[in-house]
Structures are given as C-alpha cells and as structure tokens.
A and B are shown apart, each in its own frame.
Chain A
Amino acid sequence: MALKLADYKTDVHNDWCPGCGDFGILNAIQMALADMQIPPHRATIFSGIGCSGKTPHYIKTYGIHTLHGRVLPFAQGAKLANPELEVIAVGGDGDGLGIGAGHFVSAGRRNVDMVYIIFNNAVYGLTKGQASPTLKLGMKTKSLPQPNVNNSVNPVALALVSGFTFIARGYSYDIRHLKDIIKRAVEHKGLAFIDVLQPCPTYNDINTKEWFQGLDNIDPETKRVMPRIYKLEDTGYNGVVNDPSELNEKMAKVVEKSNEWGSKIPIGVFFQNEHVPTYQERLSARIQNYMEYPPAHQKIADANGRPITNIEGLLDDLRVDK
C-alpha cells in the first residue's frame, strides 16, 4: 500500500508561532518523503536546538533532537554506523552557522551521503530574536537593542568551499519547489546542503514574507511588484558539474550567484558534483565489506555471549614464548 502524506505526520501539538516559515519546510520534508515512498522506519530526522529543533517531533520517522550546534556529528555518526539509514539533519542558522560552524565545515570535508537543511531566518527565535550569523551587517530587527554589528556569513559559499557536493536554496513559502529540491538532495550521492529562507514573523521584521514577495519593490516604470525570489533554473543556470574539468567555472558561478541579495534573490540548485567520493566509499576502500556489514549490523558474540572477534594474530605478535 502506498504511503500517504498523513503517514509522516505525528499528533504532537505544533507550537511554532502562527505564520512561521518552518511550517512550509516541515510540509516539504513530509511531502518529499511521501513522494519518494521512503518507509518511515528507514528515515531518521536529526535536529539541533531552537524552533527548527522541534521538527523531528512532528514527523513520523525516527526523530533525534540533539544538542545546540551538534546535529551534524550526531547524524553522521548514525549514518556511518548504518549507511542504510536515510538521514536528514535539520537546524537553524544560529545552530548550524554559529555554534555549529566548525561541524559544518568538517562535514563538507567528509561528504557523508546525507542531507542537511538549514532553516534560515537570520534571528535566534527561541531566545527572543537576537542576531544570527546570517543577519546582514547594520540590520536592526525589532528586538535588537542596536543594529547588527557583525557581518553575515554566506551559507551557500561556505558550503561550497567546505566541500558540500550538493548545494541548494529553497524558500519556505514555495513548498513544491522546496520539496523537489529535498528530493534531489536525498537522491544526491554525497552530502547535500539546503539553505531555506524562512521568514520569522515574530522577530525578523525586515526579511518578511512580504519583503520576499517584493511588495516594497516596485518597478518604477511598470509600477508592478517585483518579487525578490527567483528560480535559478528559470534563468538557464545549471550548477551540475558534469565533468571535473568544469569544476572551477561552476564554483565561480556559485559564488557569484550566492552574493545576490537585495532586489534579486536566487533559489534552486546552485551546485552538484558527484565526482567526489562519499565518505562511505572512502571507508569501503579500506574495509571492503563496510557497506554490507557496517558497524550497526555486525555480530559480535555467539549465542552464549562468547565474543567472536579473533585477536590471536595480534597476541601472537606480543608473545615472547614463540
């Protein structure tokens, strides 16, 4: 029997603010899982701390709500111990690019085959609106005592130079588009990153839904509203590295596109490069049966609890009576 969208929903009361952009991301994840017919038990959603951290509780798959900033190491550990798991990690921009930035960079170096989604609203919501690492310099959202004194990090460019092999951006009010990106990310061989622009209706009074829609962005000639969000694929942009020789050219384009902000903000797939071996492939090169017999599946004792690992070879080497 085909799995339905309802099969991925829990009855846990959702306590996000009304109008929160997180709802769109939650729906997109559930729709992607249903579209791909991934059995709920095969998927595990890991999360960090913050509003986004509650996401797994609303999704009926295994759900692991970890520590602030540490979602990537938890998720990678599970995936490496059992590569059959479909692992999706989620977290906020403060979680992933502030306290967890070191893990973000290091995850890129590993290229573990999984997905990481950042719910990017430029503020720390659950602690009442402090500036996050993606808030632009000089911005003063309503709960900040002073304008933001830090420059913002560029998540797409950081993912690129860290080594993520799939990099995309979604918008939480374009759920179908985001769902399609999530599906591509899950199918991607390697570590996929999705930066999701997600208005916080309570604390970010600058980058609001209306702002993204461009309600204040009027074409002086036509007097029409010019939406800020546009889709990369509509412009003929193609971030897929078909051949390693294209790498530099494609990377340069990603940086260029990722710097667009203000009146034009691109969403879509910025980059995909499947020519980099995944961490699982790297492990398989030294442990030949790693994929078939990963840590989580290994038998370690017989029926009587006797260990089955044979270290006689190592001990023989240490013996002095031979």
Chain B
Amino acid sequence: MPELVNSLNWVIGGAQGSGVDSAANIFSRACALAGLHVFGKREYYSNIKGEHSYFTVRVAETPIRSHVDNINMLVSFDAETVFRHSSDVSEGGGIIYNADIAETKIDEVPTIDDHASARIKKTLEKAGLGFSVQDALEHARSRGVVLYPMPYFQLLEEFAKKVNDPALSKLTRMTNVMALSASMALTDFDSGLLARAIQFIFKAKKRVAETNVQAADFTYNYAKAKFADQNGFRYKLQAKPADKDIILVQGNQSSAMGKMVAGCRFQTYYPITPASDDSEFLESNDVLDLYDSGDKGSTVVVQTEDEIAAIAMAIGGALAGSRVATATSGPGFSLMAEALGWAGINEVPVVVSLYQRAGPSTGLPTRHEQGDLNFAINAGHGEFPRIVFASGDIEESFYDTIKVFNFAEKYQMPIIHMLDKAIANSVMTCRVFDTNKTRIDRGLVADKISDSDRGAAGNYLRFKLSDSPLSPRIPLGTENAIFWNTGDEHTEEGHITEDPELRVQMMDKRMSKLDLALREIADEDKAVLYGNPDADIVLVSWGSTKGAILDAIDRLQKDGISVKFIQVRLLNPFPSDLVRSLLGNSKTVVDIEMNYSGQLGSLVRQHVGRQPDYLVVKYNGRPMSLDEVYNAVRRISSGNAPRRQVLKNGT
C-alpha cells in the first residue's frame, strides 16, 4: 500500500486518570509544532478514575474541523482500549498495544459494561474467535491491520536502569508517553518536536518534563529498532513550515478568552460538566494585563451554592455596572429559569454561557447533544425578550462571546450563548484570535441625568416610555439617579404596578427590543451561507455540527454533489427573512441536528413556513462525524433516504 503523508486519524485510549489527555495533548501540540493542522476530541465517562476515556486526533496539512470514524493508528496500553476500538481501525492502520496483557479476557475487564461486552463478543464470535485481547487483535490483523506489541513493563525497567533511577520502573503512569512515543516512531515523526511538545505540556513541572522526554526518547528508539524489519507503517507525519499565526486551542478556553476581551469582570458558576472549565480558566487567569495602562484588570469568579445563586449573583453584579456572565449546562440552566425572567423584566444585561450536554435530567452528563435549543428560547414563565445565539466552533466562540456581551448591553436583556460539549472538549488549530477585529459597545448608559429623565417624585425614570424601547441603564451607586427594580410589573421608576394600561406599555417596550435587535444585528451574525448558493440541496443546522457539515460538503463536492449549508447563528429572535432568502429555491431542505426531534427544523417551519424534507438527527451522545454527515447527505442526494435518518456512530 502506498504511503500516506500527513493524513492520519490517531486515537489513544485508556482508563481515566492514566494520562490519556496528557498524551493526546502532547501529540496534538507536536503535530501543530510540525506545521500540521489538528482537530481533536475528548470522550470520557462521568467518572474520576478507572472508566474508559479516549481522545481522537485528526491530522492534516489543511485546516480540519471534524472527526472521522475510521482509526488509522490506535495507541493503547490497556485491554479495554483494544476491545472497544480495534474494530474501527482501518485496513493498513496499526494498533500499538501492551504485549503483557494479550491474554486478558473481556470478562476480566470490569469497566466494560454488559451491553458493550455483548456487542464485542458477537463480533468476535462471528469471526470464530475467542474473547481475549489477542483475539480482538487477531480479528483486526485479519482485516489488514498491523500490530505493534510493546512490552511496557520491561521497557520501564530497562529505562529505569538506564537513567539509574530504580523508582521509575514502577512508574506505570509513564506508559502513556511511551505508547505515544512508539506511535511517533512508526510515523517517522521528528523526535525533537516531540520533546518540545512534552516540555510544553509539563512546563509547570520541569523534573517530570525531563523524565518524560527521556522516556519518550528511549521508547522512540526502541520502537524504531524493533519494528524496522517490518514493512514500514503506511501513515507518515512530516514536519512542514508552519502557517503563520496559528494557535492550538481548546474549546473550553476560547469563550473564556472572549470574556476577558469583552470586559466580563464578574463570572459566577456552580460546578457542572462541561461548563466548569470556562470558569476555572477565568479564575486561573483572574488578573488581566491591559493595553496602555499601568493598572491591572481582573475577573472576579465566584463559585456559588447552586445555579440559582449563580445567575442571581451575576444579575446583582450587572446592576452594579459590571459586565457579567454565568456558565452552566442543562441541569443548571433549568434552575436559572426564574431569575432569567427577572433579568428580562428588569432589562438587565446578563450572559449565560450554556454548554449543552445530553439530557434530560442528568442524561449523559459527559456526552454531547444539542437538545436545549427549544428550552433556551422558552425558559422561564411569562414572556420576556432574550437573545439566543449559537457558536459553531472554537474560533467562532471567541469572537461571538464579545458580540453577545454587546447584544446584552445594547438591548438590555439576558443572552443565552449556546455552546456544547463537542466544542468544549475539542481542540483545534486555527488562526490566532485577533482582538483588533473586535469592538465593545456598552449600549445606552446614562452618566448624567437631566430633569426630563425624572418623574414627578424627582426620581430617575429607569424604564422611561418613549419612542425608543431602550431606556438608559444606570449602575447602582450613581448619584442623583435612584431607581427601583422589581420582579412585579413596574412603573417607569421601577415601582410595582398592576395598572392595565401601563402593563401593556411596559410589555410593548420590552418585547419590541427584539424587533430592534433583529433590525440591527448584522446578517453574518444571524445566519451564514456556505457552499454553492445555487445548489438544490440545502443543509440547515446550528452550533457545533458546523465542522462535520463543512468537511462533508468538501468531500461531497469531490463526488460532484453540490450542496449548500445555512448555519443559523441567531436562534431568537429568529431571522426569518434572511433564512427564507438563503433557502432560496432549493428543492430539498435537510435539517441536521444533534437531538431527537429536529428542534431547528421546527423553528424553520414555524418562522419560515418551510418544512424540512429530510431530518438527519443524532442523540447517542457522540458528536456527528464527517463520514456520518457525508453518508447521510449522499443517501438523500441519491433519493434513497428515509425522511428521518438517525446517526449512531461513536464509542
């Protein structure tokens, strides 16, 4: 088989807490240092130690935005990884495994649940094999997969001897780096870059970094020598000059960095997967550098007792005049519903970063879904304005975060910024975030109050009725500007009223801000069209499915199948006119979403009057792969698809 250079889908697996993440981060960093583009994603159980986790990293010379199903290189050091993933390794691919555990039987691995075990056994049984690691490997080998046994324990002992540190022989934690290093040797990757990546990942611990570099080097040379006489591994990674201004960034940092730039100075949160990382990143970097200033800025991050307190405290901070946010996931957002309405009726700018995960209830707490769209649009009793805005990938999430803070303050309402587990737990190379492209707009804030802004009692009319639905905000503590807020319907001063006429006026004032937002928000922030505008097939989606859809469109293009894609970004208020015009005269509308019912599809039908012809949905907790989207659209294009396709790939 011919060599394939710089096109690899690499997967490492292992028990949670055994260094899978570190190894994948080193691999990603090393490839990025080599001038290659990467897209990685992390899958893990709701568990601290012991359950199976794995990290998929796709590598290419051009930017990539999604994962694929077939594995080219499976890197393992435990039995479970072989059992769970070996059947996904493609012909010509390789498996690096622990030679000492080849005899382990599937029933001896307690973390493989009955359902997965039954599926794996069925496959092996069909092939006439037993249920050991060796059998699973044999099954892969029979399909043309190359096996690379690694005697990790023996290597650890030899390494300990070599560096004269007997304690290291027991350091099984280091097998992650050894396994990774073996894969680098097989791909002929530059060992110097690998060392740099290790030093970067362990930069806080110099000694650990040094030992790991030595261990990597030792294993690299061992693997090179040991597998030299086999036919070379088909997949190679070659360094090339790096594109300029590329960063390797995690999805749980990008929106947080956006918050820093946006001037969010107060964030509250209650711990919840996958949203906590956002807050923890802000807290880890709470003191901020400022341009042209001797002062330091800062973000106060408060861990609250629950999500009700989180949003209430954030609203309090906003009333005092700070830009504020709270970050949560579905269960926490459910608790925030009542206070969201309070922010709505009192016209308080507050941003909720909603990192969706699979629900309902606790659902699949560490798995992905886009099931909260309807809820975000409708959360809370009564009617009040809110903007629901969805980012499609890591890079977008940075710039969008700055935009949503502007929306919050310009339109004085709560904003729900939709993110999700797929974005939060992925890592990719992209252009460095450019803060010069961003602007801050704090909307109407009164710094001086004139007499016309006052009511009969001489108080500031915070909710003054006028031709514009916007009345200037004022931070608490401002002199001569006293006003009130209440969750009851209010007068212009903010006192309680039950007057029927005033009620209508205040409802109209608040709700018409949505019309204003819809008029003012730029088209590119409402919905974006990709692909051939004249294509007959149009894909409609929102959020993190963007990457797989764009990559699938490229592949479909090569097959001569022309499609276009509308990424809806502003979900509430819904940009009906723009979406209608982008749909154009397309014959076939395909709604693609990571949920059961096709929630965006319903919105399109509701607002645009166009029923999607096909639904491609997925709700097994694993993000859509490029292959899945590609195959689903191909099926539709060939006229052989059912109206509703349910995607089911993923481990």
Contacts and interface: CB of A to CB of B under 8 A. Distances in A.
Contacts of B440: 300-301, 305-307
A213 to B, nearest CB: 33
Contact of A57 (B244, B439, B484): B484
A99 to B, nearest CB: 10
Nearest to B31: A320
Given A106-B304, A286-B286, A295-B322, A307 B263 contact: yes
A307 B305 CA distance: 32
A57 to B, nearest CB: 5
Contacts of B272: none
Interface stretch (A17-25, A76-84, A176-184, A245-253): A76-84
A73 B477 contact: no
Interface string A130-155: 00000000000000000000000000
Given A67-B342, A305-B439, A76 B320 contact: no
Interface string B501-513: 0000000000000
Contact of B317 (A44, A65, A80, A289): A80
A73 B316 contact: yes
Interface stretch (A116-124, A222-230, A309-317): A309-317
Interface stretch (B428-436, B518-526, B589-597): B428-436
A97 interface: no
B487 A41 contact: no
Nearest to B339: A67
B486 A80 contact: no
B315 interface: yes
Contact of A70 (B309, B442, B479, B496): B309
A295 B300 contact: yes
A231 interface: no
Nearest to B484: A63
Contacts of A61: 482
A188 interface: no
Interface string B303-338: 011101110111111111111100000000000001
Interface in B382-403: 402
Contacts of A300: 262-263, 265, 297, 323, 440
B257 A314 contact: yes
Contacts of B300: 80-81, 283, 287, 290, 294-295
B347 to A, nearest CB: 13
A112 B533 CA distance: 57
Nearest to A102: B305
Contact of B495 (A57, A66, A289): A57
B487 A77 contact: no
B580 to A, nearest CB: 32
Interface residues of B, number: 88
B38 to A, nearest CB: 10
Most B CB contacts (10 A, CB to CB) among A81, A106, A290, A301 go to A81
B485 interface: yes
Given A54-B496, A319-B247, A298 B263 contact: yes
B441 A77 contact: no
Given A66-B342, A308-B291, A321-B243, A74 B316 contact: yes
B154 interface: no
Given A57-B496, A321-B242, A308 B292 contact: yes
Interface in B404-436: 429, 432-433, 435-436
A54 to B, nearest CB: 7
Contacts of A215: none
A46 B285 CA distance: 31
Interface in B203-253: 242-249
A297 B324 CA distance: 13
Contact of B435 (A105, A287, A293, A311): A311
Contacts of B286: 286-287
B478 interface: yes
A85 interface: yes
A286 to B, nearest CB: 6
A40 interface: yes
B312 A70 contact: yes
B298 interface: yes
Contacts of A308: 290-293, 297
B32 interface: yes
B289 A313 contact: yes
Contacts of A311: 257, 260-261, 288-289, 433, 435
A73 B312 contact: yes
Contact of B457 (A11, A309, A313): A11
B261 A41 contact: no
A182 to B, nearest CB: 20
Interface string B455-481: 001010000000000000001111111
A60 interface: yes
B33 interface: yes
A103 interface: yes
Contacts of A85: 320, 476-477
Contacts of A288: 287, 296
B295 interface: yes
A14 to B, nearest CB: 12
A298 B475 CA distance: 13
Contact of B338 (A67, A79, A283, A318): A67
Contact of B339 (A60, A70, A314): A70
Contacts of B243: 321
13 contacts: A57-B484, A65-B485, A65-B486, A67-B338, A67-B339, A70-B309, A73-B310, A77-B316, A289-B295, A296-B477, A301-B440, A302-B291, A320-B248
Given A42-B477, A54-B496, A300-B440, 4 more contacts: A73-B308, A76-B313, A307-B438, A319-B246
Which 6 A/B pairs are nearest by Cβ-Cβ distance? Answer: A77-B316, A300-B263, A77-B313, A73-B312, A295-B265, A295-B322
